[in-house]
Amino acid sequence: MDGERAPVMADVARVAGVSHQTVSRVLNDHPNVRQTTRERVLAAIRELGYRPNAAARTLVTRRTRTLGVISFNTTLYGPASMLYGIEQAARQDDYFVTVAALAALDRRSVLEAVDRLRDQAVEGIIVIAPQTSAVAALSTVPADVALVAVGCGTHASLRSVAVDNEAGAERATSYLLDLGHRTVHHLAGPRSWLDAQEREAGWRRALTRRGAPVAEPMVGGDWSARTGYERGREIAADPAVTAVFCANDHMALGLLRALQESGRRVPDDISVVGFDDIPEAEFFGPPLTTVRQDFDEVGRRALRALVDAIDHGPVAGGMPRLSIEPTLLVRSSAAGPRS
Amino acid sequence: MDGERAPVMADVARVAGVSHQTVSRVLNDHPNVRQTTRERVLAAIRELGYRPNAAARTLVTRRTRTLGVISFNTTLYGPASMLYGIEQAARQDDYFVTVAALAALDRRSVLEAVDRLRDQAVEGIIVIAPQTSAVAALSTVPADVALVAVGCGTHASLRSVAVDNEAGAERATSYLLDLGHRTVHHLAGPRSWLDAQEREAGWRRALTRRGAPVAEPMVGGDWSARTGYERGREIAADPAVTAVFCANDHMALGLLRALQESGRRVPDDISVVGFDDIPEAEFFGPPLTTVRQDFDEVGRRALRALVDAIDHGPVAGGMPRLSIEPTLLVRSSAAGPRS
DNA sequence: CGATGAATTGTTAGCGCGAACATTCGGGTG
DNA sequence: CACCCGAATGTTCGCGCTAACAATTCATCG
């Protein structure tokens, strides 16, 4: 494209009247460089618009300062937010982030993505794909890349960061119970996701602790508003249901819609609580009471865990499962049952 | 971490009983390698679990096969979807994608992000940040990286891919006019975004073409449901408004909420149309009539344009502005005015 | 004033790979 | 059988950088 090639270290050295090694020292902040020399070199760098060749540096230092993020569907609010949090944190630690979107949910895709990232010599990988199968697949990955899973249950042998889904679900369910409902139904997420399993477990625990009857959860949800709507039509047809805890906000939206179509009022006839606190939840009709997850923070912590693993080897401090406490956000989609 | 270092080409060569160059030829699919030799080499590669060192290859080929994506807020549905589309397409073309999230909207941030990506020697950059200021900043970037902007207006001198916002907005507005509304109000997006400008222009054009009165657009929106709600409260208070075209679906959601709170029925009292067709729009109360954008396709096309630019130099085929036609999706949030 | 050692700078040798050139091999041709 | 030509393979070099070591400078002190 452009005629002359980009300047290299030797060019800078020539202009500054030093050896290329001195330029290297300036670039790498070595202590023993005279102040005046340093300035001369920096001036030359600016003059030539020099930028170090990352490949050459990588070749000799064996470090790419690149991290990989594997994510199933970056379109969902959760994964997208985490990616954002990760990138911000990575920048501060001077790492690049390359992404690998998963084509499918199976073990093969996950391993392919890992492989792809390893080809690029990433120093570590964060996996945002909290399916049971994905976690299982991850355990077969050779230990020469640091790995951190996000929201991947308590599976040992893998460093992970997660929101305490169970606690959040329990809190939401208890809240509905406190409001006076005899029991709470659950619109569950996909069983293959750990988050869904944990939320269901939290819901179940709250119910059994209080001695409330545990109805079969509504299954078939895939996190989308559409499936929330589909299950919602069945829920709307069942007059026994007075309170529903949804596995996430999107499904809650679908449920709200189905309820409205059936003429069942929220919260007068049925109370609804979601999970995630997506930015839109506040503007649902009615505003959704939900459990807030700090995705950004999850992303940041995942990054920190990964950088730790890279810096101090894989076993430093065991395999901590960092857990973030979610909080209940009360809005108007839940109330006591009609007396 | 692990004791022995990863095998290099020379190791493979030794095991296969050939020179390292023959290994290189096998890896790069050179024609003149005997079939039996090729197989021997491949066997050795498998046996050792050899993977080529990307840095070394980059150093000599001067190609990183890495692309950068700059995005303002990957949390928004649009940017997230495009990123997804870009990554999928990039993988097929055998490129890696590294992301750079923008800290702020200003020119400085954009240039910093570009700089960061250039440090990593990306071969090209896709910018998803359709603010006027961002586009302006981009024009100062040296021509040694290929650049493609997504949704960045008709600014020349920059390759770009975009949805035809103006046509979409005009279509939506005309649709409301056809329904019998005397005029259509506009809940505008942030003026600093080209998409917002174009959608406003399309709305304005539809109105003037039909000779309908053009009311001042409601400004102050920032794409979020919250600002949609805030402006919505004002709209609800104005009985003259019978139809609103919102710059995006999220703001439409806020508007819907404000309308409901004020007891104004949709579509009976007021019709609402959005833009984007986010997956949730179908489940708003009521389901939102909106203009569908194919973000995935935008992402794919942006990638194709970028790869073209990389392969054939920056000027091949001029600076085409690829434009994608959006389509109107009729649902129940819009109807004719009360007679 | 010369010795001593620390601070500063220079020189050399790879890192792992692909391009360019050199060499060998194998199979027709006259 | 000598010759030639193309296919197959090997050798050498350098991409741009940092690490290790060598050489030089400089300040300090006896």
pLDDT tens readout for residues A240-261: 999 999 999 999 999 999 999 9
Is nucleic acid strand C under 7 Å from B33's C-beta? Answer: no
| pLDDT > 90? residue B100 | yes
List phi, psi (to 5°) of A110.
-60, -45
A69 closest CA partner among A95, A114, A100: A100
Q: Which amino acid is at B329?
A: L
Q: What is the 3-state secondary structure (H, E, C) of chain A?
A: CCCCCCCCHHHHHHHHCCCHHHHHHHHCCCCCCCHHHHHHHHHHHHHHCCCCCHHHHHHHHCCCCEEEEEECCCCCHHHHHHHHHHHHHHHHCCCEEEEEECCCCCHHHHHHHHHHHHHCCCCEEEEECCEHHHHHHHCCCCCCCEEEEECCCCCCCCEEEEECHHHHHHHHHHHHHHCCCCCCEEECCCCCEHHHHHHHHHHHHHHHHHCCCCCCCECCCCCCHHHHHHHHHHHHCCCCCCEEEECCHHHHHHHHHHHHHCCCCCCCCCEEECCECCCCHHHCCCCCEEEECCHHHHHHHHHHHHHHHHHHCCCCCCCCEEEECCEEECCCCCCCCCC
Opening angle at CA A202, ends A200 and A205, nearest 5:
110
CB < 8 Å to B83, chain A: 74, 99
- Edge to edge, what strands does the sheet with B243-246 contain? B185-187, B243-246, B271-273
Cβ–Cβ of A257/B2 closer than 8 Å? no
Q: Which domains does chain B have, with CATH numbers?
A: 9-52 (1.10.260.40), 66-163+295-325 (3.40.50.2300), 165-293 (3.40.50.2300)
Of B83, B98, B226, the CB nearest to A96: B98
Q: Count Cβ–Cβ pairs < 8 Å, chain A vs chain B.
A: 153
Tokens 């729009």 belong to: B281
The helix/strand/coil state of B297 is helix
Interface test with B, best of A2, A4, A59, A75 (most B CBs within 10 A): A75
Asked if strand C comes closer than 7 Å to A143 Cβ, the answer is no
pLDDT digits (tens, 9 = 90+) for A93-136: 999 999 999 878 788 889 999 999 999 999 999 998 777 777 78
Angle between helices A20-27 and A35-48 (to 10 degrees): 90
Q: Which of A67-81, B5-19, B35-49, B130-144 has the lowest mean pLDDT?
A: B130-144
pLDDT for B155 equals: 55
Tens of pLDDT, residues A129-182: 777 777 788 888 887 789 998 876 555 567 788 889 999 999 999 999 999 999
Q: Do B283 and A51 touch (CB under 8 A)?
A: no
Quick one: pLDDT band at residue A83, thresholds 50, 70, 90?
very high
Closest-approach residue (CA) in chain A for B61: A55
Q: What pLDDT, on the 0 to 100 scale, is given for residue B127?
A: 92
Q: Which residue's structure tokens are 């104004």?
A: B264
B153 has a pLDDT exceeding 60: no
Distance CA A248, CA B50 (A): 44
Q: Whole-angstrom Cα distance, residue A217 to residue A3?
A: 67
- pLDDT-derived band at A315, boundaries 50, 70, 90: low
State how far residue B198 is from chain A, nearest Cα, in angstroms. 25
Tens of pLDDT along B286-326? 999 999 999 889 999 999 999 999 987 655 445 555 678 89
